[in-house]
Amino acid sequence: MVWPTTWEWVGILLAIIGILMAVQPFLQMIYGQPKLSIRPSVVMEKETAAIGLHVSNPPITEWSLSLLGVTKQTAEGVVISYMIDEFESGKSILPVTFSHTYTGAGNPAKRVDIAASDYASFIPIGAVNKGKVYLDKEGGSELQLLAIGKYKVTVIIAYGSKKELAYKHLIVSENTPYASWEMTADES
């Protein structure tokens, strides 16, 4: 059996160091990509409520990836739109509407950056006022009354080269809370 020479040992050591240096960028490419999650909400306050969606980019919580320095990237240039159809008939109630997103950084915008955080940006879809449910058609400038029933809300999220679709079910009733979200298959 022949042992490697000194220069061969140096070459082996440099190869091992090179492989170790490549692990973090490789894992960053796979696990560091932004992944937006959507959570529907109805925030009640006496006789009024805000109906909307919370969008977040949850940070990496796995300790081994954090130890290697892998971090979740910011989702840049996020544009969120939605449309609302009657659940049973499929009749369009609200065509594709580009939402105003509230990020907590000031005024709402149609294009936002969502950093890796448990904090969620808010997208208003409608409001409840005195037992009536209204849709927010153009950032609050125009409201449309919504009848009692079940509605399919299709959410379209575009950022970078990605486009994601999510489907949520909005229930409008004649009793308090007047508007609620039904759990869909992608939330279970």
Confidence of residue 97 (pLDDT cuts 50, 70, 90): confident
Beta-bridge partners for 158: 79, 163
Tokens at 53, concatenated:
């969606």
User: What is d(CA 108, CA 102) in angstroms, rounded to the nearest whole number?
Assistant: 5
Query: Residue 139 has what pLDDT?
Result: 54
Query: Residue 118 has what pLDDT?
Result: 85
Tokens at 108, concatenated:
């709402």
| Record: fold of 38-187 | Immunoglobulin-like (2.60.40)
Distance (Å) of CA 67 to CA 29, 61, 156, 179, 184: 16, 10, 34, 43, 35
pTM, full prediction: 0.79
For residue 186, with 0-12 CB atoms within 10 Å meaning exposed, 13-18 middle and 19 or more buried, which class applies?
A: exposed
Kindly state the percentage of the chain with pLDDT values over 70. 93
Tokens at 62, concatenated:
């796995």
Confidence of residue 106 (pLDDT cuts 50, 70, 90): low
The backbone region for 134, taken as left when phi is positive above 0, alpha when psi lies in -120 to 50, beta otherwise, is: beta
Report whether 77 contacts 101 (CB < 8 A): no
Main-chain dihedrals φ then ψ at residue 166, nearest 5 degrees: -140, 145
Q: Domain extents for the chain?
A: 1-30, 38-187
For residue 12, with 0-12 CB atoms within 10 Å meaning exposed, 13-18 middle and 19 or more buried, which class applies?
A: exposed
